[in-house]
Amino acid sequence: MNIEMIRAAAERLEGHARFTPLLSSPFIDQLAGRRVLIKAECLQHTGSFKYRGGYAAVSALSQEARARGVIAFSSGNHAQGVALAAAQHDAPAVIIMPTDAPRLKIENTRALGAEVVLYDRVTGDRDAIGTQMAQERGLTLIKPFDEPQVIAGQGTTGLEIAQQAKAEGVTQADVLVCCGGGGLTSGIALAFEADAPGLRARPVEPKGFDDAARSLAAGTIQSNEQMTGSICDAIVTPRPGDLTFPIMQRLCGPGLVVTDHEALRAMAQAFLRLKIILEPGGAVALAAALCRRDQIEGDAVIVVASGGNVDIGMYEQALDTLRS
């Protein structure tokens, strides 16, 4: 896993992935107590950064492997990213999703042409299910984060941020990244190491699911005690990956932790001030910028707003926080 893989992924993604904008608002700056630049990956195809990793992985396969097809397991964003990327390569796609994934994500994955297989998030072992199906049908398994080509694809976000931050005159800053298994965080960190050494990636997680923060603090991989109970479905993962954690340990700053309510409030600020839709798991980094200002260094902070696939009911809960 190295920067050359990220640059190669960027070349393959050229003309496919969207170069997403870096947004800002004086109102957000005021709330955060510093300048805030928001990388709007919710505007990426399929509504999250996951399309980058999906496309990078599918495009790296041989013609034969593509023809047999791919399989992925995901609460929904990786699912949609892989489904669209597979469709664009004429590759069949099987997606294994938890039964409690947001309905919108399940429907979209199906609508993008994938075959969806549901499993129980608490009692099922999605790795085992995925591996078995992959063997039976000759499908290539595209893991959601602990997979070099996926990390390379997500890392292209970091290449863009490095370029955009420089154009904004920001060369020293914490970069807050919504973190599940660490694919996006580690990919961005590798991109910064090469292109923007003054930028420091820091994972942000929901309270109770802060495996990355605890792992970084302990120096060894720590697991979450539970797998349900957060509205931030996109970033609830058992533990950091074997590939992603060493990268994060070498390059990332300390993790940050926010509550579900703080994520909802950040979604509401994104509605009010940025005019972008964020889902809870895609809003934790913005929430940290707004609610953890004492734990952040520097005059400016960069936030990766990683996804926007949220059901109506949850979105209305977020808007409701503006009324209280």
Residue ranges that bind a second copy, judged by CB under 8 A: 18, 20-21, 23, 25-27, 40, 42-43, 45, 47, 84, 104, 108, 111-112, 271-272, 274-277, 308, 312, 315-316, 319, 322-323
- As measured in angstroms, the least distance from the Cβ of 319 to a second copy is 5
| Closest residue by Cα to residue 192 from 248, 136, 128 | 248
Measured from the CB atom, the residue of 48 and 244 that comes closer to a second copy is 48
Q: Which is nearer to a second copy, 104 or 129 (CB)?
A: 104
Shortest reach from residue 86's CB to a second copy, in Å? 13
41 three-state secondary structure: helix
The first and second tokens of residue 216, run together, are 């970084």
CB 237 within 8 A of CB 75: no
Nearer residue to a second copy within complex by CB, 111 or 217: 111
How far apart CA 53 and CA 222 sit, in angstroms, is 24
In angstroms, the CA 96 to CA 82 distance is 11
Minimal distance, residue 272 CB to a second copy, in Å = 7
**Of 253 and 308, CB closest to a second copy:** 308
Nearest CB to a second copy, comparing residues 275 and 293:
275
State how far the alpha carbon of 159 is from the alpha carbons of 18, 20, 39, 203, in Å: 13, 12, 12, 17
Smallest separation (angstroms) from a second copy to the CB of 30: 9
CB of 43 to a second copy, least distance (A): 6
CA 308, CA 318: separation in Å to the nearest integer? Answer: 13
